[in-house]
Amino acid sequence: MIYREAGAPTRISRMTGALGSVTFAAVRFPRAYVREATLLFWLPLAASAQEPVPYLQVQWENDAFLKGRTTDRWYTNGTRFTWMTRNSDEPAFDAHLQSLLLGDWATRRARRFMNGEGWFFEQLMYTPRAIGVAAEQLFDRPWAGWLQLGRVYQGAIEAERWGASRPVHRLAEVSIGTVGPSARAEQTQTWVHRLVGATKPLGWSHQIHDEVTANLTYRETAKLGSDTADALIHHGYNVGNAQIYGNAGGTLRAGHNLCDFGLRTLPATAPLVRNAAEERPHNGECSDPVVLRSSSWYLSAGFDVRLVVRNITLDGNSFRDSPSIAKKPIVGDAVFAAAWRRDGWTAAYLVTIRSPEFSGQRGAQRFGSFVLSVPI
C-alpha cells in the first residue's frame, strides 16, 4: 500500500534500460513514515556494530617505496600481518596474560573506544649497503633476518592525564621468533629480486646465526584534541633477547573523524581502535554508527626517540660469536603519514626518516610503508 498526504501531487517517472522500462510512482511520504523507515534501516546496523568485527591489517615497508630510490640497504624490508578482534566481551583463552600486561584495561572500555586481542606475524630484513658483494663487510650493517609470531592485546579507557580525563590506549605484544637463516630472509629477498629484476643479494652466507627470540613490547598513547585535530603522546619499552629499549614521542594530526590512535612503523603498529557499543542518536562522536560508517582521513607528522640497550641485528647473537657492529645508543624517527578509512577499510602511506643506527652509517635511513586494513 502507498501512503500519500492529502492533496500531495504524484509524479510519474520512467526508467529505461537494457532490459526494458519500468514505470513507478514517486510519492511524498508523511514525516512519521520517513522517521520509522530511517529507524528500521539503522537499527540492524547499530546492532551489528556491537558484534565483534575481526579485521586483517597488512603492512609492507621497503626502502624502495620512495620516489627515485631503488637501493637495498640497512633496514631494507618489513612485512607484517595482524589479525585483530573488536569489541569482544568473551574472554580470550589467555585472558590472565592479557590482564597481567594491560591491568584492568583489558576489560574496561572507554565510552568511545574498545579492547581487543589478536595475532601478528612479521618478517624483517637487514643488509649492508652493497648487497651484490659476496665477501663479509666488516664496517657495514650485518646481514640479518628476523621472523616473529606473537599475540597483541589492546585496551583504551578515559583516564586522568595532565589534569583532565583523556582517551588513553595501551598496547602490549608478546612474541617468539628467530633470527638467522631460519628466518628465511635470504630466500624471500632472492625470490623478490629475481621477480623484479633487481640485484641478486650475494652476502647472506655472512648473516647472524640462528637464535630463538622472545620479546615483550608495551606502548601507551594519550589523545589530546578533537575529532578534526589532535596530538598523540606516547611512551613505551621493549624487552627481550632481541631488543631492549625505551621510547617516547608524539604525533600531530589534522583531518576528519579522528577516531583512532594513529599508525606507526614496524615492528609494531598501533591498531585502529574505535567502539560502536553504545546505541544513541547521531551526535557526531566516534562511537556513533553513523560516524563509524562515514569516511575518515588525516595527515600527520610525528617523531619517536629510542634509548637502545640491545639490538640483536647490530649486536649479533647473544651466546656465540657472529657478525656485529657498534650501535648508536639513541635513535630517532620522523614519520609523516596520510591515512583514509571508510566502512572498516583503511589505507595509509607513511614515510619514515631514521637517524643512523650504527657507527659508520653514512646518512639517515629513509623508507616508505603501505598499510591496508580490511574487515573479515
Cis amide leading into 201 (omega within 30): no
> What is the grid cell recorded at 82?
595482524
The amino acid that residue 23 corresponds to is T
Cα gap 330→333, rounded to integer Å:
10
Q: Which residues of the chain have pLDDT under 70?
A: 1-53, 67-70, 86-95, 104-115, 267-294
Same domain, 62 and 46: no
Residue 43: the pLDDT is: 37
* pLDDT for 354: 95
**What is the spatial distance between Cα 170 and Cα 218, in angstroms, rounded to a whole number?**
7
Tell me: do 58 and 45 sit in the same domain: no
Q: Provide the number of structural domains found in the chain.
A: 2
- Is this prediction's pTM over 0.85? no
The closest of 125, 129, 124 to 141, measured between CA atoms, is 129
* In a shared domain, residues 193 and 64: yes
Domain end point (choices 11, 35, 50): 50
Phi, psi of 37 (to 5 degrees): -65, -40
State whether 306 and 366 are in the same domain.
yes
Are residues 69 and 9 part of one domain? no
The answer to whether 328 and 308 are in contact (CB under 8 A) is yes
Is residue 58 domain-shared with residue 38, that is, in the same domain? no
pLDDT tens digit sequence for 255-267: 998 878 888 777 6
- Structural domain of 14: 1-50
Give the per-residue SS3 of the chain. Answer: CCCCCCCCCCEEEEEEECCEEEEEEECCCCHHHHHHHHHHHHHHHHHHHHCCCCEEEEEEEECCCCCCCCCCCEEEEEEEEEEECCCCCCCCCCHHHHHHHHHHHHCCCCCCCCCEEEEEEEEEEEECCCCCCCCCCCCCCCCEEEEEEEEEEEEEEEEEECCEEEEEEEEEEEEEEEECHHHCHHHHHHHHHHHHCCCCCCCHHHCCCCEEEEEEEEEEEEEEECCCEEEEEEEEEEEECCEEEEEEEEEEEEEECCCCCCCCCCCCCCCCCCCCCCCCCCCCCCCCHHHHCCCEEEEEEEEEEEEEEEEHHHHCCCCCCCCCCCECCEEEEEEEEEEEEECCEEEEEEEEEECCCECCCCCCEEEEEEEEEEEC
- Amino acid 86: pLDDT: 59
Side chain identity, residue 37: A
Structural domain ending residue among the three candidates 50, 69, 85:
50
C-alpha cell at 261: 590512535
**265 and 328 co-located in one domain:** yes
76 and 140 co-located in one domain: yes
CATH number of the domain within which 177 lies: 2.40.128.140
Clarify whether residues 272 and 146 are in a common domain.
yes
> Does 39 share its domain with 182?
no
My answer on whether 158 and 46 are in the same domain is no
pLDDT computed for residue 114 by the predictor: 55
Last residue of a domain, one of 34, 50, 66: 50
Work out the burial of residue 83: count CB atoms within 10 Å of its CB; fewer than 13 is exposed, 13-18 middle, 19 or more buried.
middle
| Max CA pair span of the chain | 92
Q: Do 151 and 298 share a domain, yes or no?
A: yes
